[in-house]
Amino acid sequence: MTSKAKLLLTWMATAAAAGFQVTLLANEPKNEAPIRGTIQLQQEGEEQATYSSLAKITLQQATTIASNAQSGNISKAELQNEDGFLVYNVVVSQDKKIHEIKVDAGNGSILRVDVDSADRETEHEESD
């Protein structure tokens, strides 16, 4: 489960407990295939401090790969656990669109690109 999905579920549970009616708007496709990278993490809660020692490419290489795939401004780049695999999540903004590019931390291949509108992303940040 992605961190975005976990955050949404936590928010929904809190809102429901407080008595608010919760309407779920699907942000991610329901039939989205899980990511299959080259560096599998041993545990769900593996320490993020060890992520950089496991990565075979650097953050700079990952941002270069993402920039070559999608022009725009990089607003965030980090190593993360995505479906049990180590990936760089590089966020690129362009033309009111937010592109989350998942770069394999092992071989630098692009595993998936998620696209959302900047307006929708701002709404999520304001409600947090």
- Strands of the 97-104 sheet, one edge to the other: 73-82, 85-94, 97-104, 110-117
Structural domain of 63: 37-127
Which CATH number is 89's domain given? Answer: 3.10.450.40
CA 41 – CA 50 distance, rounded (Å)? 10
Q: Summarize pLDDT for 6-22 with one digit per residue, the tens.
A: 544 554 454 444 444 43
pLDDT for 5: 54
Model pTM score: 0.68
Q: Summarize pLDDT for 50-87 with one digit per residue, the tens.
A: 899 999 999 999 999 999 999 999 999 999 999 999 99
In a domain, 18, yes or no: no
Residue 38 near residue 57, CB atoms below 8 Å: no
pLDDT for 123: 44
In a domain, 31, yes or no: no
Number of structural domains the chain divides into: 1
In a domain, 5, yes or no: no
